[in-house]
Chains A and B, each alone.
Chain A
Amino acid sequence: MLANNTPTDWVSVGVFGAFTVAVLVLSSLLGRRASSAKGYFAAHGQIGWFVNGIAFAGDYLSAASFLGICGLIAFWGYDGFLYSIGYLAGWIVALLVVAEPIRRLGKYTFADALNARFGSRLVTLAAAVSTLLVSLFYLIPQMVGAGALIKPLLGLPSWVGVGLVGVVVTVIVTTAGMVSTTWVQFIKGGLLLSLCAILAALILGRGFEVRASGPAREAPARNVGSVVALPAWAIMEGPPGAAASFAVDPDGLVRTEGARTGPLGPIDFLRVFSASDIAAWRTISAKDETGAVHSMATPETIHGDVLLQPGNSPAFRGLRSGSVMDRVDFVSLMLALFLGTASLPHILIRYYTVSDVRSARLSTVVGIGAIGSFYILTLYLGLGAMTGGALDTSDSNMSAPLLARSFGSVLFALISSVAFFTVLGTVSGLVLAGSGAVARDLVITVLGRTPDDHAQVRIARIAALALGTCAMILGLLFKDLNASFLVGWAFNIAASANLPALLMALFWKRATKEGIATAIIVGLSSSLVWVLLSKDAFEKVYGLPGADAWMPFSQPALVTIPLGAVAGILVSLATRPRTQPV
């Protein structure tokens, strides 16, 4: 629908092919460095702090951050930026609370650090299951993003994108484990940051196209499956109260007729946006007499200042409605984002790739700088997409790549390929974390002994193959959901399952292995059940009425993190060893 066999598409194909081949060649060259367990799982602990810091960014800035947040901002304004704020805030917890103890205590997997004081098979088993489930939940939005990208990039159906990512990631992880994964993430992090900075500069350089007044003209609709998608929109700045207006070019893009602001600085860009009337696109859905759902996208004029406040999107609308449960839902999500980062196994295992505690801290600081810079750019990318005349109203995930297309096919090809690369980097980290949990933690628990070095690597490679296949299947099953929305769930589950247990293990002397395992099991199961019975799941996954949902709000962290912590504390107190009388 968005791509066709024009000569410019071959630019995309060429850039995309070059990126993919480069990744595969890199992996094969680094493969021999990962034959031992230490090389495969932790890159021999010899990655430099700067490379590891940028690799943190490459690992963390996933499809949800790039495609999902930009899409949410492009459609709903500030609400998408709330995710940027929450995702970055979590790194403060990682830096100040867990980074150094994790590096000191851990070896290859999340369970290593958690279990350092106890040497318990039950803790190992619980941590391994938690790692696998969190990684799988986090994998879903990445694969959804891959499927969304392949459509405009190569004009192929989404299942091809999902399959391609699955195959390439499996090759990356099985050939060279953490060694190649680190370098893929480092290159991806650097490229993503650089290209987004260029794109933001182009947005500021273009400014806004404006006209003082004039009647609105209705844009022609076009059919995209069951969604009637209208071409994109335009921004107007005029006298207070002036109606937004726009004209439609024959190519389907909307451009304003009249004056432009010209280049704007970062502050002026936001100031002009705040003072303008914006024609933001909204989708209206209705059932016909046969029960089939039809959707139509239509422009709605909203003042820019309103779009730069929270509460526009369906997810955060409760902030303005006065509903107590909606506000609790918001607080719970922001808590999950704050505490979730330090609980993500694929992030925590990156601390094992540096040589010492000081490098762990330095690499986190570099990561925070890179990730923070990116998240500031997301606001400009999202608002640029909203005002760039290139939205696909049927797919919010495509906002950033289509924004790049509005600046030319070469930039589009580069951004889309880097976005695809983004998916590869994050999925590689997730598959590696999952395969480590299987090869070291599950196998040790089941067999009751530790396989030798080569056997661990062999098992991890087989597990990576299985996880890659799972990721592909999940990506196809959930292909219609917004990537950032899904990652919110992964953060809830990670924070509920892992953080109470991690804090207890690191900082509470009375914690027992039974308490740690209980904290994981209670946090994991309660958050998982809550998410699956929530209003969001009913509406967006099962297609059922949200009113039928069992849970009063959708984000469980506010309840399930304390629940896991209380359960862990109570069990620790109940199972603490009695001191022998002297």
Chain B
Amino acid sequence: MGRAGTSPGFAPILRTVPDQPAARSLTSTPNRHQHRRDWKRWALLAVYVCAYGGFIGVAVAAPALLATAVIGGINLAVVWGFALIVLAFVIALAALRLPEQA
């Protein structure tokens, strides 16, 4: 079932199994408007990727920076690590306000 499921090369083994829930997937194919609506979701993901990637980048490229004391004598490595965990929860709460994903 579906336009992608008809390649002749795999035809003998790839015949559709009736139990597969393919019909449900086709009814929920997202349209362009829904994809546009999802930009906030991708923006939240980008924020976290930057924070997480930045941490990895500093650990690899300038590990001495992580030794810098930033808050109350605690170094940047610990503060950044805690911040990543807290940020994940903040983003999760923000995601509750997003529209349903396309």
Contacts and interface: CB of A to CB of B under 8 A. Distances in A.
A376 B79 CA distance: 11
A305 B67 contact: yes
Nearest to B47: A92
B28 A104 contact: yes
A105 B85 contact: no
Interface in B7-35: 7, 9-10, 13-22, 24-26, 28
A309 B77 contact: yes
Contacts, number: 190
The SS class assigned to the A binding surface is: helix
Question: At the interface, is chain B mostly helix, strand, loop or mixed?
Answer: helix
B48 A92 contact: yes
Contacts of A84: 81, 85
Nearest to B78: A308
Given A274-B75, A577-B4, A309 B52 contact: no
Contact of A124 (B17, B18, B74): B17
A85 to B, nearest CB: 5
B78 A334 contact: no
Interface residues of B, number: 58
A368 B92 CA distance: 7
Given A270-B78, A271-B72, A361 B60 contact: no
Contacts of B92: 91-92, 95, 364-365, 368-369
Contact of A121 (B13, B75, B77, B86): B13
B5 A375 contact: no
A120 B55 contact: no
Interface string A310-345: 110000000110000001001100100010000000
Nearest to A330: B60
Interface residues of A, number: 73
Contacts of A201: none
A97 interface: yes
Contacts of A512: 4-5, 7
Nearest to A89: B52
B75 A331 contact: no
A357 interface: yes
B13 A122 contact: yes
Contacts of B9: 514, 575
A39 to B, nearest CB: 17
Contact of A112 (B21, B48, B85, B91): B21
13 contacts: A92-B45, A96-B44, A112-B20, A115-B20, A267-B71, A271-B72, A330-B59, A334-B56, A357-B101, A362-B96, A369-B89, A379-B78, A511-B4
Given A92-B88, A120-B20, A514-B7, 11 more contacts: A84-B85, A115-B22, A116-B20, A116-B21, A116-B22, A117-B22, A121-B13, A310-B66, A311-B63, A444-B17, A450-B17
